[in-house]
Chain A
């Protein structure tokens, strides 16, 4: 099965700074790399994902970069805002549909105003 490591476990930044969270996986067959955001009292929300045929994907202030050779991918948040404060999870998998996700242990991001 997939072994997933996520770092750091906690991250505190000042509003306006950038934040980077890294996810390392073990299964070289993985080809789908999502990031989820979980706010307090809510379910995980898919915020961005990337498939292995591309190296980077951006959506406004968030981006995901993939290094398939080294088996890691990262979430980048620029110009952080207090509403970015949440727990972020990576969940690499095979994009075949009908496949359970193996989640990283999560990164608690705190954006200080």
Chain B
């Protein structure tokens, strides 16, 4: 158990819908990262927050957004969903002083 929690574990929805994925980092970790894992693209970085502020963006679509709240939990919002958004979405957290990242169990999103 990494100490990072993610909900829900599974999500099934339809094209055009909007969903919210939630992540709670390990106690004391200020950085939260979101990654997408699909069969054809592998593990890809989406976005990073540090202590409530956006720090870096990767291959995140404009239909996707995220935020980190004062209690440091983070939410990833996916809207106007398409079939190709079906994937595993992972959250990771790390301490400020190094880059050891600890991953949650992921949310499996299926868009029908």
Contacts and interface: CB of A to CB of B under 8 A. Distances in A.
A43 B104 contact: yes
Given A89-B43, A95-B98, A100 B33 contact: yes
Interface in A88-113: 89, 93-103, 105-106
A29 B60 CA distance: 25
Nearest to B47: A100
Contacts of B31: 97-98
Chain B residues touching A, range = 20 to 34
B99 A32 contact: yes
Contact of B95 (A97, A100, A103): A97
B105 interface: yes
A10 interface: no
Interface in B79-95: 90, 92, 94-95
Contacts, number: 67
A46 B45 contact: no
B64 interface: no
B16 to A, nearest CB: 28
A103 B99 CA distance: 13
Contacts of B90: 43-44
B24 interface: no
Given A34-B99, A43-B4, A45-B103, 15 more contacts: A34-B101, A43-B2, A43-B90, A43-B103, A46-B102, A96-B99, A97-B95, A98-B50, A98-B56, A100-B33, A100-B56, A100-B58, A103-B43, A103-B44, A106-B42
